[in-house]
């Protein structure tokens, strides 16, 4: 019996093999500062171990599984194959072996996945959590139930990072905005999503005495402005309502459309490459979002996938302190990004 292996799967396994080798060598290549988070996780420097919160939970996970005691190259040999297998189970598009814009975005993301899975990391847990969403969306239940279950599950993930609770709120808010007639519906939907984010931050400021973005990003950015290369620091202080509003929009643009970062780091190949990757990813997704908005009924499920993604991008606009961190966090969200980019393939499959 002749066994035929398709080109797309050969390319997937080829990339997996190459990036697995790179993943095992990461510990010997990357500078020490890339392992700051890992040191906190492995040594529990601040005695945070527990079940609620990203650091406490991930410290508990690596403590229970004993993975923290393994050499990093062995951790890479465990974590990268697991995450790659999950992507494989979600599906490999028929044209995965062809070089085009969306495949290039995923090839780079696959490479970054190998880098970040080479050590104890919060992104491994994030990846495992959000990998459940594509499988729900490919299930046989009705589209309405798929969306409801996905939003509830994402809200439940707030035990790990509290701001995940904002994703369903932003997604539902933007979905309601799509029913209002605007000449430029894509821009309007994203804009009013940011308005929702701004008002939520204002509400937090009224109740807690400090705006969300200032509390979680601006204060950190001011403290580390001279030590982090791609820090996101609003040029307007965020201790006023208009400063906070500007800061959230500035943060959204900085982590998702980082043209400013690209221009200011023209002589830094790594930062420039990351910025180009972010721009290409955003362009592909916003183009799909625009198409879905033009025919919501026919593209109902794909529209909701993109609403979830853009809601996450808005959350990043509030909380992410620098471009490097925002990219690392996006890799934790890769199962949904992967599913959104190749939605046509998965839609045909189901």
| Rounded distance between C-alpha atoms, residue 302 and residue 24, angstroms | 36
**DSSP classification of residue 210:** S
Radius of gyration of the chain (CA): 20
User: What's the start-to-end Cα distance of the chain, in Å?
Assistant: 28
Q: For residue range 55-105, list pLDDT tens digits in order.
A: 999 999 999 999 999 999 999 999 999 999 999 999 999 999 999 999 999
Q: How many CB atoms lie within 10 A of CB 209?
A: 8
Whether 350 shows a pLDDT value over 50: the answer reads no
Residue 25: band (very low, low, confident or very high) from pLDDT cuts 50, 70, 90: very high
**DSSP classification of residue 124:** H
Average pLDDT of the residues in 197-217: 86
| Rounded distance between C-alpha atoms, residue 119 and residue 112, angstroms | 12
Query: In DSSP terms, which residues pair with 322 in a beta bridge?
Result: 231
CB 188 within 8 A of CB 181: no
pTM score = 0.94
Q: For residue range 229-279, list pLDDT tens digits in order.
A: 788 888 888 888 899 999 999 999 999 999 988 888 888 888 899 999 999
| Rounded distance between C-alpha atoms, residue 232 and residue 235, angstroms | 9
Q: How many CB atoms lie within 10 A of CB 270?
A: 11
CB 40 within 8 A of CB 55: yes
């Amino acid at each position: 019996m002749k066994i035929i292996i398709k080109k797309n799967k050969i390319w997937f396994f080829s990339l997996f093999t190459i990036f697995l080798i790179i993943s095992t060598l990461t510990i010997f290549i990357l500078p020490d500062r890339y392992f700051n988070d890992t040191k906190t996780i492995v040594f529990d420097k601040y005695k945070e171990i527990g079940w609620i919160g990203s650091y406490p939970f991930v410290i508990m996970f690596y403590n229970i599984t004993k993975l923290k005691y393994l050499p990093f190259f062995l951790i890479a040999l465990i974590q990268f194959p697991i995450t790659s297998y999950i992507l494989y189970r979600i599906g490999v598009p028929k044209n995965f072996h062809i070089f085009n814009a969306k495949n290039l975005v995923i090839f780079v993301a696959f490479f970054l996945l190998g880098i970040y899975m080479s050590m104890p990391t919060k992104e491994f847990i994030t990846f495992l959590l959000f990998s459940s969403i594509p499988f729900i969306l490919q299930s046989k239940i009705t589209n309405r139930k798929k969306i409801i279950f996905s939003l509830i599950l994402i809200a439940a993930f707030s035990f790990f990072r509290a701001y995940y609770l904002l994703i369903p709120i932003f997604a539902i808010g933007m979905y309601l905005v799509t029913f209002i007639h605007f000449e430029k519906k894509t821009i309007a939907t994203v804009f009013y999503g940011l308005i929702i984010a701004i008002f939520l931050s204002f509400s937090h400021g009224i109740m807690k005495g400090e705006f969300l973005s200032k509390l979680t990003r601006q204060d950190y950015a001011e403290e580390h402005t001279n030590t982090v290369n791609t820090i996101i620091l609003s040029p307007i202080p965020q201790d006023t309502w208009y400063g906070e509003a500007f800061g959230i929009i500035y943060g959204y643009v900085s982590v998702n459309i980082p043209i400013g970062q690209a221009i200011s780091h023209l002589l830094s190949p790594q930062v420039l490459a990351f910025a180009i990757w972010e721009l290409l990813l955003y362009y592909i997704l916003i183009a799909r979002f625009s198409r879905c908005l033009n025919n919501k009924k026919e593209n109902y499920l794909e529209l909701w996938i993109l609403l979830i993604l853009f809601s996450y991008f808005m959350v990043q606009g509030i909380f992410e302190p620098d471009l490097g961190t925002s990219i690392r966090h996006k890799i934790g969200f890769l199962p949904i990004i992967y599913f959104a980019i190749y939605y046509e393939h998965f839609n045909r499959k189901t």
